[in-house]
Amino acid sequence: MLGVVLALTVAARSSVHAQSADLVLCDRLAADPADPDKPADVKGTPEIAKADVATAIKFCRTASGGSRRALYQLGRAYAANGQGAEAVAAWRKAADKGSTSAMVELGVMYGTGAGVARDEAQARKLLERAAEAGNPRGVSNLAALSGGGGAPSDPVRARALLAKGAETNAEAQYQLGLMLSEGIGGAKDDVAARALFEKAAAQNHAGALERMGAFAQSGRGGPSDSGAAKAYYEKAAALGDEDAKKALERAKCPYVIKDKRGNVVTNLCF
């Protein structure tokens, strides 16, 4: 009898380890860097590599029985493989289990009509759930969901939701900083915007690094510092930010030569 119990215990432990290994591999290949469910020690990948798609589907599908994160990542893998219907099905299951990232994916799809019938009411419902749970992408997409004319549907509410997420999240800090710097949803406040960009930049947020470069260069919301601006731009450019790359090019070639019509002919560099 004791031998049977021991055998069952070993089998159970082996099953747990197998499931854990599947989730580890699913995370390694298909984790979303912006997913709030992602463990801090998992780097994530913005796009699943084509060579990894089949393997990601295999391990994420196995791990998805006990993990909403794996379900969401399975949807990402299906989407990367062009299996739209399967991706939607996985995201629906993940959203039902509380995955805010899956809610955002579905909300964007319903909002744009990409892969599903366009349904703005359903899109708003999903994005509101994600936003209220603190997902910054839910907030930013909810703000962009227009009721007509392309204007944010409720910038005041979006700003309030972002303020909640900005307590800890770099993307929320960046998005709220943009709203404050442009006076969207409330008063314009360059000082507060710069403080938020600085917090997000400290977490290597590319967009925030670029904004800090611009603010430091112009002295907006704080002191002007060309050396700091260049350093911010370089960090942002290294992370792939195109605006930062252009800013560095402009710094190298600041003198613009135009023709009689005012068209740019070339730049003088030094």
Residues 136 and 61 in one domain: yes
Same domain, 186 and 119: no
User: Which two structure tokens, joined as six digits, stand for 64?
Assistant: 């998805």
249 Cβ contact partners less than 8 Å away, ≥ 6 residues apart? none
Flag whether 249 is in a domain: no
Q: Is the pLDDT of residue 111 over 70?
A: yes
**Are 38 and 71 found together in one domain?**
yes
**pLDDT surpasses 80 at 21:** yes
Beta strands of the chain (E only): which ranges?
255-258, 264-268
CA angle 76, 236, 229 (to 5 degrees): 160
The candidate with the shortest Cα–Cα distance to 101, out of 78, 77, 131, 81, is 131
94 in the same domain as 190: no
The residue to which tokens 């084509």 are assigned: 50
**What's the rounded mean pLDDT across residues 240-267?**
79
- From the CB of residue 228, how many other CB atoms can be counted at a distance below 10 Å? 15
User: Would you tell me how many other CB atoms lie within 10 Å of the CB of residue 217?
Assistant: 19
**Residue 34's Cα: distance from chain center in Å?**
4
Residues 195 and 96 in one domain: no
Cβ-count burial of 76 within 10 angstroms (0-12 exposed, 13-18 middle, 19+ buried)? buried
Q: Higher model confidence: residue 251 or residue 10? A: 251
Mean pLDDT across the chain = 86
Q: Are residues 38 and 83 both part of a single domain?
A: yes
- State residue 150's pLDDT score: 43
140 lies in the same domain as 211 = no
When pLDDT is averaged across residues 40-61 and rounded to a whole number, the result is: 95
Rounded mean pLDDT, 144-155: 56
Residue 109 and residue 190 share a domain: no
**Least confidently predicted of 16-20, 44-48, 120-124, 205-209:** 16-20
Give strand pairing partners of 268: 255
Check whether residue 147 and residue 25 sit in a common domain: yes
Separation of alpha carbons 79 and 15, rounded Å: 29
What's residue 101's pLDDT? 97
Tokens 């442009």 sit at which residue?
Answer: 182
Distances from the Cα of 23 to the Cαs of 6, 42, 55, 244, in angstroms? 26, 11, 12, 36
Are residues 27 and 136 part of one domain? Answer: yes
**Which pLDDT band, with edges at 50, 70 and 90, does 7 fall under?**
very low
Mean pLDDT of 37-52: 93
**Burial of residue 42, with CB atoms counted within 10 A of its CB: 0-12 exposed, 13-18 middle, 19 or more buried:** middle
Asked, for residue 65, whether it belongs to a domain, the answer is yes
Between CA 223 and CA 144 the distance in angstroms is: 32
pTM of the model: 0.62
Does the pLDDT of residue 88 top 90, yes or no? yes
Q: What is the pLDDT of residues 71-85, one digit of tens each?
A: 999 999 999 999 999
The CATH number linked to 75 is 1.25.40.10
CB atoms within 10 A of CB 104: 29
Once rounded to an integer, what is the mean pLDDT over residues 83-88? 97
Write out the residue range of the structural domain in which residue 216 sits: 170-239
Question: Which residue would you say has higher pLDDT here, 251 or 118?
Answer: 118
| pLDDT tens digit sequence for 227-252 | 999 999 999 999 999 999 999 988 88
Q: How confident is the model at residue 270 (pLDDT cuts 50, 70, 90)?
A: low
Angle at 138 between CA 169 and CA 192, to 5 degrees: 45
What total number of domains does the chain contain? 2
Instruction: State yes or no: pLDDT of 187 exceeds 90.
Output: yes
What would the mean pLDDT of 162-185 be, rounded to a whole number? 87
User: 71 is written with which tokens?
Assistant: 């379900």
Q: Give SS3 for 146.
A: strand
